[in-house]
Chain A
């Protein structure tokens, strides 16, 4: 059962990876990356159960979190070209 779910997620990951590689725009890539991250969370959660050690969920949680921050960072980079203060950028 876990295996089946794992398999499904894995297939999904391949598809995501493809989208990631294909692009064509950066936003597509970011989307794929974000989606991939979510699937990674799932994979780890399921893998933990599969291996009988469900207490690894902390990792999954960290993933979810990092994934979010990473995406925000990338977006901020694209929208403003800086990760610091936008105002700094504008004042120049």
Chain B
């Protein structure tokens, strides 16, 4: 049901030309995805997806759009053939891969049998935090999170690098150097 929503949105994105609409649909896509995450018990992820996908990304895209203009040039020739072939090839490979997957929600899937039980059974005692996601995130796999912070830090630096200068300077930017 919700996935069907997503399919509609995704195809709408393919079809639409108006960039604003595309951005809004992308935001919508994130919203729906977040609902799906809630349904799949991934509340933390839903939380983040809501804040990021629907919020920050959309605002950023709009900011970009406000700087680049929303007019979208019509492509002269739809050069669709090769992309379609590539996409279908990839998709078929993936679908081929699904045939041996454990079913959705299968409690006997390897994912549920290995590694994870430790988190579920022992983390409240070992780490003492009720939210297992937090304990895995911050403790068991705390280093990933350090990496994640580094990624965000990198993004901050990268944006500064990219947008700091190179143009006529406005008084505002002067102040910023203080």
Contacts and interface: CB of A to CB of B under 8 A. Distances in A.
Q: Is there a direct interface between A and B, measured as CB atoms under 8 Å apart in the complex?
A: yes
Interface of B: 1, 5, 8-9, 12, 18, 20-21, 24-25, 27-28, 31-32, 34-35, 38-39, 41, 43, 46-47, 50-51, 54-55, 58-59, 62-63, 65-67, 170, 172
B66 A83 contact: yes
A13 to B, nearest CB: 7
Contacts of A44: 34-35, 38, 46
A69 to B, nearest CB: 6
B50 A88 contact: no
Contacts, number: 93
Size range of the interface on A? 35 or more
Contacts of B32: 40
Contacts of A62: 47, 50-51
Contacts of A15: none
Interface in A3-44: 10, 13-14, 17, 20-21, 23, 26, 29-30, 33, 36-37, 40, 43-44
B54 A66 contact: yes
Given A40-B34, A56-B38, A73-B59, A13 B5 contact: yes
A44 B43 CA distance: 10
Contacts of A10: 1
| Complex A-B, nearest 10 residue pairs according to Cβ-Cβ distance, in ascending order | A66-B55, A83-B63, A73-B59, A77-B62, A59-B47, A82-B66, A40-B31, A77-B66, A56-B43, A63-B50
B50 A20 contact: no
B54 A70 contact: yes
A53 B38 CA distance: 11
Contacts of B66: 77, 81-83
Given A13-B5, A59-B46, 11 more contacts: A29-B21, A33-B24, A33-B28, A36-B28, A36-B31, A44-B38, A47-B35, A63-B31, A69-B59, A83-B66, A88-B172
Contacts of B46: 44, 56, 59
A85 B12 CA distance: 33
A23 B20 CA distance: 11
A37 B31 CA distance: 7
Contacts of B39: 47
A33 B65 CA distance: 18
B62 A83 contact: yes
